[in-house]
Chain A
Amino acid sequence: DAKTTQPNSMESNEEEPVHLPCNHSTISGTDYIHWYRQLPSQGPEYVIHGLTSNVNNRMASLAIAEDRKSSTLILHRATLRDAAVYYCILRDLIKAAGNKLTFGGGTRVLVKP
């Protein structure tokens, strides 16, 4: 399975943007890039996903490098509620193995008021 590499932690000030990098140099052509986050004492929740083009939704934006070997999750204005562990996950569109989520260690985001 293709793996992802993320920094262990990042700090941000409230109301400022947060850029969370993810490296996935062994990504295959059928791998989608997914992001989930886990707030304290909760189960993970879906944030966003993409294949090749940049994606935006109400929670965040996903910027995908042209060679797809890295991506960046962007939280445009961090709030205290965005303090969580953010996981970058590859999911194969074709293989049955794509049914499960393979979590790494994630990036713990601390938002300072």
Chain B
Amino acid sequence: DTGVSQDPRHKITKRGQNVTFRCDPISEHNRLYWYRQTLGQGPEFLTYFQNEAQLEKSRLLSDRFSAERPKGSFSTLEIQRTEQGDSAMYLCASSLGLIGTSGNNEQFFGPGTRLTVL
């Protein structure tokens, strides 16, 4: 399967613990996005990479959240000192975009990581 993959698919943690999620995009895609989705709502943008550069961060991304894409391939999203309000589905997407344009590049989404903070 050459789609976007995310690991783990489910994560249950206790409040205050740190968690890390991984996203493997489609191999030739230079853009990678993280979104968060709570029950009954549409996904909300968190952050976006073009290759290894993090170009935009939402104000939803508090200082407890950090995302990396060290070699422009896979990405990790870490949440430190988790809170119950962090419980959500974390979605990763990738796309192929030309540098310097927003374009209409279709975003391909992974299946998501469902986080439950107890």
Contacts and interface: CB of A to CB of B under 8 A. Distances in A.
B103 interface: yes
A108 to B, nearest CB: 10
Interface string B32-52: 010100000111110010000
Contacts of A36: 107
Given A42-B111, A43-B91, A101 B104 contact: no
Q: Give the interface centre of B4, B31, B101, B109 by most chain A CB atoms within 10 Å.
A: B109
A44 B4 CA distance: 12
B42 A94 contact: no
A99 B56 contact: yes
A78 to B, nearest CB: 21
Interface residues of A, number: 28
B112 interface: yes
B110 A43 contact: yes
B97 interface: yes
Contacts of B56: 96-97, 99-100
Contacts of A103: 42-44
A84 B4 CA distance: 20
Interface in A9-32: 32
A46 B112 CA distance: 16
Contacts of A44: 43, 91, 93, 107, 109
A105 B42 contact: yes
9 contacts: A32-B104, A34-B104, A43-B93, A44-B109, A99-B33, A101-B43, A101-B107, A103-B42, A105-B42
